């Protein structure tokens, strides 16, 4: 109970920061959604598959909303930024993300039990929080809907 109260206080103290981030839903960590990979600096391409590039950034803080994350991956489709995924460990980090996202976006639009998964849709973004209780790890993913929808359309039109 104390843990939930403490997390609530931390999130309330973070509201000015969250409001600032919400005021700019057009970017993630300063990178505008839909921006061309060639316009951004500091990216290292980790993997390239057809029209997709998975990247990381040099010299980047691994804290998001005060939560320490293991890694942050940026995904580009046809060189346009459309997804950011953070990997994290531990119940406390999961609960911190869940509390902060619920404050920012309201109740999730969908929820699954295993993996424990919550989803929000806001300002042209899908936000998906997943947590595997058995492994004590999870991910937080932001998807820029205009490009994600384009990918879905293109894959659906070309599959037999």
Distance CA 46, CA 53 (A): 8
Nearest-angstrom CA–CA distance, 152 and 142? 16
Q: What is the CATH number of the domain that holds 54?
A: 3.40.1000
Question: Which uninterrupted H or E stretch holds 8?
Answer: helix 2-13
User: Can you name the residues that pair with 84 across neighbouring β-strands?
Assistant: 74, 142
pLDDT averaged per 10 residues, the chain (length 160): 47 41 69 90 91 90 82 96 96 93 90 88 93 94 93 75
Element (H, E) at 46: strand 43-49
- pLDDT for 65: 77
pLDDT computed for residue 19 by the predictor: 38
**What's residue 52's pLDDT?**
96
Q: Are 143 and 126 in contact (CB under 8 A)?
A: yes
- Number of domains into which the chain is organized: 1
- Cα–Cα distance between 151 and 160 in angstroms, integer? 16
Burial of 10 (0-12, 13-18, 19+ CB in 10 A): middle
How far is residue 80's CA from residue 38's CA, in Å, rounded to a whole number? Answer: 9
Tokens of 121: 């849709």
**Total-model pTM:** 0.80
Query: Residues 111, 112, 118, 123: is their CA dihedral positive or negative?
Result: negative
78 dihedral zone (left: phi>0; alpha: psi -120 to 50; beta) = left
Domain carrying residue 77: 2-158
């Amino acid at each position: 109970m104390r843990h939930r109260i403490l997390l609530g206080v931390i999130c309330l103290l973070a509201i000015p920061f969250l409001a600032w981030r919400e005021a700019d839903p057009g970017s993630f960590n300063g990178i505008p959604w839909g921006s061309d990979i060639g316009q951004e600096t500091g990216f290292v391409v980790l993997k390239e598959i057809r029209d997709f590039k998975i990247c990381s950034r040099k010299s980047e803080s691994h804290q998001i909303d005060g939560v320490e994350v293991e890694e942050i991956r940026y995904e580009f489709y046809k060189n346009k930024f459309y997804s950011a995924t953070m990997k994290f460990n531990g119940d406390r980090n999961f609960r911190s993300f869940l509390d902060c996202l619920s404050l920012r976006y309201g109740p999730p639009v969908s929820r699954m039990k295993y993996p424990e998964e919550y989803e929000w849709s806001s300002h042209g973004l899908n936000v998906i929080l997943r947590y595997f209780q058995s492994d004590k790890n999870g991910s937080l993913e932001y998807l820029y809907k205009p490009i994600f929808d384009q990918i879905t359309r293109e894959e659906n039109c070309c599959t037999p």
